[in-house]
């Protein structure tokens, strides 16, 4: 460790101290500050008392800087607290707006649900109307076909006429199968329908049996069609065979 000089070890007549060297902030603010190096660098220019005076001055200066820094940070902290306090009403206003927006959303949802229910109801009504339209159309068509078959009934037929009758009858029975038999209009036509059935079921086998071999050959494909039609006709039994 370096030896420090005092007033006793220095001959004031032979040695005069140079001018005092001012202590800079950088002298003691370095990360690797060393006390011995610090004193060695300054003791040759001044006495220990001078160094102590400068260090006291620096201590007061640093203390004041610390106080100023604390006061500045405290002011900022207080300002932040006041800003937060002033922001509370704004936050509350935002909460109120959000709650209002949520209420509006709920109202819109209710309207959408109501509209959806009304739409479903309208779709169901439309489907029911379409079913009713189809039913009425089939009912009207049944009456028309029933009348057409009645117009084709004769006492005598050739192969072509009987073929037309068989096709019209099958179409009539096929349509009737799609309609409710307990409907008043269908019930009122039951006797007409049964008369047609009996006539067709009697006429076809009688015509087939009465045809000679020569006649069957002459009719060719027409006679074969009558056989196919008769097979289909037998699937619609009369009241006596049900």
Q: What is the pLDDT of residues 210-225, one digit of tens each?
A: 876 666 665 667 788 8
Going from the C-alpha of 117 to that of each of 80, 124, 130, the distances in angstroms are: 54, 11, 20
Tell me if 139 is assigned to some domain. Answer: no
Q: Which of 43, 61, 82 is the last residue of a domain?
A: 82
pLDDT digits (tens, 9 = 90+) for 146-159: 999 999 999 999 88
Residue-wise DSSP of 39-58: HHHHTTTS-HHHHHHHHHHH
Average pLDDT of the residues of the chain: 80
Domain that holds residue 166: 153-234
Say what the pTM is: 0.51
Tell me if 136 is assigned to some domain. Answer: no
- State the pLDDT confidence band at 41, using cuts at 50, 70 and 90: low
- The confidence score (pLDDT) of residue 28 equals 65
Tell me if 129 is assigned to some domain. Answer: no
The domain total for the chain is 2
């Amino acid at each position: 460790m370096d030896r420090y000089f005092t007033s006793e070890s220095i001959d004031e007549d032979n040695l005069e101290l140079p001018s005092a060297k001012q202590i800079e902030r950088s002298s003691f603010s370095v990360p690797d500050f060393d006390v011995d190096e610090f004193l060695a660098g300054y003791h040759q220019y001044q006495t220990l008392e001078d160094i102590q005076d400068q260090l006291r001055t620096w201590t007061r200066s640093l203390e004041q800087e610390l106080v100023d820094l604390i006061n500045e940070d405290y002011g900022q902290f207080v300002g932040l607290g006041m800003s937060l306090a002033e922001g509370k009403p704004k936050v509350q206003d935002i909460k109120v707006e959000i709650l209002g927006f949520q209420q509006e959303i709920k109202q819109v949802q209710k309207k959408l649900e109501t509209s959806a229910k009304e739409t479903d109801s309208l779709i169901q009504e439309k489907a029911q109307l379409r079913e009713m339209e189809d039913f009425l159309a089939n009912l009207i068509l049944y009456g028309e076909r029933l009348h057409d078959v009645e117009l084709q009934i004769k006492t005598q037929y050739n192969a072509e006429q009987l073929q037309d009758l068989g096709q019209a009858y099958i179409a009539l029975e096929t349509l009737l199968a799609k309609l409710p038999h307990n409907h008043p209009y269908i019930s009122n036509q039951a006797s007409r329908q049964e008369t047609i059935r009996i006539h067709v079921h009697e006429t076809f086998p009688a015509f087939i049996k009465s045809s000679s071999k020569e006649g069957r050959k002459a009719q060719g494909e027409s006679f074969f069609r009558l056989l196919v039609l008769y097979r289909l006709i037998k699937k619609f039994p009369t009241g006596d065979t049900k």
